[in-house]
Each structure stands twice: as structure tokens, then as C-alpha cells.
Structure 1
């Protein structure tokens, strides 16, 4: 399963709606983006969500349900509509097809049947994401040694991206034992990775976002488990599926991994579009990074997604040169972040990203440039409004 099929469920009847929700939850490849309790006036909302599949219960009010199918077909023709009814009436089926439905689900049904129908109807739909994605959707940030500043890079990278009003970003802490994302942002989360994983199958897209902690910068944050024993309960397969669902909800995910090469880290590396390895120009770090790259080369295509960022460049006199580092790693250096102890110290003391703690510094500008290199802005985002010919006189 490379992607998740996003489903909007519409049914005014509570018993029928509950049964349909259970049916959808029984199919691993389906995720309920939203549940609507009325057919009237919902075509606009469905077009806004732009799901892959819209399952509509017919039995509560067949006339309104058929009208909704016709409205969806007219306003959002790329959305696949699947009517569902306990009445296998040929006249009703014909009316549904004429309104714009492509198949008909007779209730009660089994998850395997729904899975086959959804896969058949939605497999070929291209460009179906409602979220605007420019650049990598998942960036995993890691380091081959402790203390290189990979968490600081992940936090400031995500916070810089979140400042763009057009592109929501979620920062996840995959250092399950000793993560520090919550401390860096001075947040006390209501939910953590472990608590969300226990119930994410029952959350639609709206409830999922409400369950996440949102930093004042606009960045969504999902920290590591509070109790260490909860980290052992996180199943890699559930984590993989959870990331697939998050891809349907967010245009950008930044993952701060651990330095211990845990199972969760390999899930992040496997699914990442870019693996950002943070290094410092000292022998120990470069040697360990070379070993990590050799490990990545054993997995098909993984090393091709690696970009290397030098942190604390210029921090000491005898640091290894960039050319020597590239020769050692057999890979180019993507970006450099200069040594800036005072801004980072201010950031740590305030529990705030550089965008708040030191917005006028050169190092913050470097993070903006790094963000822009990974996620290029569209002309409409970075183009300043043109002034009139006589604006200077007013």
C-alpha cells in the first residue's frame, strides 16, 4: 500500500452511519477524512475536502442522497462517489448511476468487498491530493553522533516552514526514549506519539489535527511518549501506516530521529523523500557518518535521498575542510549552518525557535535559505506587490 484512500462518509441515519464507519475502519487502506450527518448542502464541503472516495448512505433520505451525488458529480467530478444501501432495488441503483455514481455498495457488506471496490475505483486517480505539495513531503533529520545539533536543525527547519501561511507542517519526535522537541519549543502536549497511535484509526482528519499540539508559530507538533515503557509498545507497521495517513493531512512532515537506529528511525528513513544528515566537521562525526552512509547503500535508493548539512561550521580552528569532508563521505555538502552559540543559547533559554528568539541573526537567515532550498516558494508567495508609478510621492 503506497498511499491511503481518503474517504468522506455521508449518512443522516446514525445506526447506518455507525455500521458504515465500522466497515470503513475494517479496511486498512481507507482513512475517514470526515463524517457528515446530513446530505443537504454538503457538496461544497466535500469539494473542499476533495477526498478520493465519498460513501453516501441512501436509506435515510434517498431523494436528498441522489441530489447530493449529482451535485458532487457537477462540482467535484474527480471525487469517486459510492452509494450504499440495504435495498438492492434496481430503480434506485439506476438513479444513482445516472446521478454520477460508478458502482453501488449493497449492505451489509464485508471489508474485503469494500476494499476491492475502493481499489478498483481509486487506483488510477492522479493528482488526487488536496494539499499543495512543493518539495519533499517527508524530511527525516538525523545525525551519526550525539551533540551534532540534529534536533535543533529539525525544530528550526520545521518552524521556518510553518511560518508560511500556505503550507502547514507537522514536526514529529521519533527519538522515542530521549526526545527533546517538546523542550525546545516549551510545550506541554495533551497527546504524544503513543497516545495518538492508540486511536488514530478512529480519528477523522479534523479530529486528528485537533489532537495535535500546535505551537504559537503555527507548527503542529507530536512529541515522543512520556513514559519510556510506552516506546516499546509502538509497532513499526502501525507507525508506517500512521505516516501514510499523515501524508494525506499535511503537505510537509519533519521527523527528528534518534541516534540509536531504532525501528522507528528506519520507518522514517524508508518513507522519507529526503534524509537530512547533520554533521560537524570533526573526525569522529565524519567517520560515523561514512559508516551510516554505507549502511544506507544496502537499501535500494536510500542513499540517493540523503542530503548532508554541516552544522556549527567554523566552530574551531582545526576543523576538517569541506573538500576533505566530501572526499571522506563520498557525497556533496548540501548546506552549511555557521557556528552561532549566542542565538542558539537564547533559543534554548526561551524554549523558542530562532524565528522568535533571534529573528534578525545570520543563522536564522541560513535556516530560511535551507527551508527555501528544500521547499521552493511559489512566485505568489515570495513576490512583493508591485507599487504604482507614483507610489514614492505618497
Structure 2
């Protein structure tokens, strides 16, 4: 099915498709509303959707179709190549993004690629019902050494234990990522291997590229060597996050302390951003700049959770100065415990497992409740009782 407001475009696409014996245009529409109504009637396998439509645009229409007609796959077509539109298309539920003008070969390959993936997923999931899209949570800071990775790995384990849902950690610190190290996992396979095959895989193929921690948390490890970071492009990351959120209820992303294009992809996808700071001038300065940039990017304040790590530090500015400088609410204060944190890092055992009763572990569980408030409602016996039940301590 073709949804495009320009008649000549519809006719040209139809002509290209007619040259393939096993492909057929079953319907056409010149706006989104008519297209959605018609799609529900004919239920096409694939919908070619122009991004710029009168009235409801192609992105909104794709969201509606992904929700109301999940059996039909959408390929967005556009004259705009900017990363923003590609990311928005994937986020809306599109399976492919095709640039105009495209050749017959490019069009047919895109259709067959999407059709092949959908058929594979359909055969693997019937009679299962599609679950809702997972939640993407990115842990970020404008400064290194603030404890981002420590928070990420412990939060992942806490969420898995509290909710019973599937959790995956994506290590996007592409040059010096330590998620696998801090979880005691060998880096037999990394994001580099996945990026090389990203156009050929479906959601269930992801298992071949993930490491499994004993807690059940999955990890997509950072490259082994720093120079491999150059092989990971923004379109790889967009597709990887899209696939992960289709399969896992919680996708936690650890990041580098920079706002380069790879991190911006992750932040754009995020349902929640955990912004980590310390009571240090450099950290506060960079967090303030990060908040200003996020405001310019139109990120809602509600999705940003400002976390003060090592909040019991006796050095640096006081808490009052911190609040005045940032003028942004602190959602949680995590106390520092160097002995426990360093031992956990060196042994590859997250401290929510090795020391669940410690103050630092309790704070991580409180962070998990901020991310998933329903978990707290399911554990009314209190945090210490919850940890005793979960870990037998």
C-alpha cells in the first residue's frame, strides 16, 4: 500500500513495484486519515508512507498504524535525510527509512528485507501477543568519574529483581566501556559484531550478541578496542535501540560524558534520563550546561531525573550552592561508600547483590522505584524486607 499526497510519486512507485512478479500495490491514499482507514480494510503486509503529508503527518500515522494494525509494517519515505527524521521514524514504529529519490533496486530490497524480518518474527511469536514497547533509560553525565556505570549496572539488577521483567544494558561508552567488566562478564561478543550484521537480524537474533549475567540481566558490551568505536554509526545505534526495546521491558544505556551524535541518539530515544552529578565544581558546571542543551532539544523536565551521587562528600560546594546553581530538582541523593563500590567493581559483582543491606544499595533500590513506581506498590513490606526476600540476606 502507498500513502503519498503526490499522484506522480504514487504512480512511479506503483510502476516500480509492478515489475516484480510477486509484489502488488493493493491500495493507495493521498493523506494519512484516508490511508489509515483504507489500511484497516485491506490489511496490507507493507505500507510505504511519505513523511510529509497534509493534515496528520507520516510519523503520527505510523504511530497509529503500529498500535492499531501491528501486522502491517511501515516503510517511511522522505526527501529529508537528517538524523532527527530517521530517529523519529524508527521511534514511531517504522521498519525502514527510504530516501527519495530511490531506485527500483533500493525499493525492492527494502520491501523484501522488511517482509523477511516480519515473516520470521511472526512465525516465532504466534500465538504470543505483542507486548508493549520497553522503556529506554539512559544514564548520562557531562563529566567522567561520577559513577554512571556503577549506577547503571546496579540499577539494572535491581529492576530485574524487583519487577521480574527482562532487562538489558547497552554500553555506549564505545571507547572505554566497563559494563561487562563490572558485571564479571567476558567480552566474547560486542556491539561491533552486532553492528556488522544489523541489517540482517530480527529481535530474536539479538540473543547471539548479548552476554548474560547470573541475575538474568543481558548486556550488549562495548567494543574491546577503542579504535572500533569508529565502526559504530548513529544509524546502527538507532536500529539497535529499536530492536532492544521491542524485546526487553527495560533498556538501560550507559554513555560517555559527551554530547556527540551517538549519545544524542540514545537521549532522543529515552523515556527517562538519569543525570548524574557530584558535589564538585566541574561536575556542576557540566550538568548545568547539559540541562541547558536538553532544554534546547525540547526534552521535558519530567523525563530527567537529576541524581546527586556521593552526596555525603565533605569536599566541594555545599548542597545549598548545588541547588541554587542548577535550579533543578534533585530526585535522589546516593551516599558514597568507596569500600563497597570499589570491591564490587574489582570482583565484578554489583553491590546490590553482594551488599544489599548497605545504604548505597538501598539508594539504588529507591532509584529503581523512581524509574518504575509500580514496583513499590508491589512491595509494601518495606525496602529491607524486599531485599531479604529477593536475596535471602
TM class by shorter-chain length? 0.5 to 0.7
How many aligned positions are there? 281
**TM-score, with normalisation over the residues of structure 2?**
0.65
**TM-score, with normalisation over the residues of structure 1?**
0.64
Q: Find the aligned partners of 1:140 and 1:197 in 2 and give their Cα distance.
A: 20
Q: Find the aligned partners of 1:31 and 1:260 in 2 and give their Cα distance.
A: 36
Q: Find the aligned partners of 1:218 and 1:294 in 2 and give their Cα distance.
A: 37
The alignment partner of 1:171 has SS state of strand
The alignment partner of 1:267 has SS state of helix
Matched-pair contact (CA < 8 Å) for 2:138–2:274: yes
The equivalent of 1:131 in structure 2 is 131
Query: Greater helix percent: which structure?
Result: 2
The equivalent of 1:361 in structure 2 is 358
Q: Find the aligned partners of 1:147 and 1:304 in 2 and give their Cα distance.
A: 25
The equivalent of 2:144 in structure 1 is 146
Matched-pair contact (CA < 8 Å) for 1:161–1:169: yes
Deviations 1:355-387 (A, max 9, x none): 222122121111111101111235884367xxx
Task: Identify the match of residue 281 of structure 1 among 261, 279, 282.
Answer: 279
The alignment partner of 2:186 has SS state of coil
1:34 aligns with 2:121: yes
Instruction: Quote how far apart the aligned CAs of 1:318 are.
Output: 5.0
Q: Find the aligned partners of 1:24 and 1:352 in 2 and give their Cα distance.
A: 45
1:328 aligns with 2:325: yes
Q: Compared with structure 1, are the counterparts of its residues 4 and 298 closer, same or farther at alpha carbon in structure 2 (3 Å cutoff)?
A: closer
Structure 1 runs, 4 residues or longer, greater than 4 Å off:
1-7, 21-25, 28-33, 45-48, 378-381
Q: Compared with structure 1, are the counterparts of its residues 148 and 284 closer, same or farther at alpha carbon in structure 2 (3 Å cutoff)?
A: same
| Unmatched 5+ stretches in structure 1 | 8-20, 37-44, 51-129, 385-394
Instruction: Quote how far apart the aligned CAs of 1:273 are.
Output: 1.0
Q: Find the aligned partners of 1:328 and 1:291 in 2 and give their Cα distance.
A: 11
The equivalent of 2:306 in structure 1 is 308
Q: Find the aligned partners of 1:275 and 1:4 in 2 and give their Cα distance.
A: 16
Q: Find the aligned partners of 2:127 and 2:376 in 1 and give their Cα distance.
A: 24
Q: Compared with structure 1, are the counterparts of its residues 310 and 245 closer, same or farther at alpha carbon in structure 2 (3 Å cutoff)?
A: same
The equivalent of 2:128 in structure 1 is 49
The alignment partner of 1:377 has SS state of helix
Q: Find the aligned partners of 1:30 and 1:303 in 2 and give their Cα distance.
A: 37
1:348 aligns with 2:345: yes
Instruction: Quote how far apart the aligned CAs of 1:304 are.
Output: 4.9
Q: Find the aligned partners of 2:118 and 2:256 in 1 and give their Cα distance.
A: 28
Instruction: Pick the structure with greater CA Rg.
Output: 1
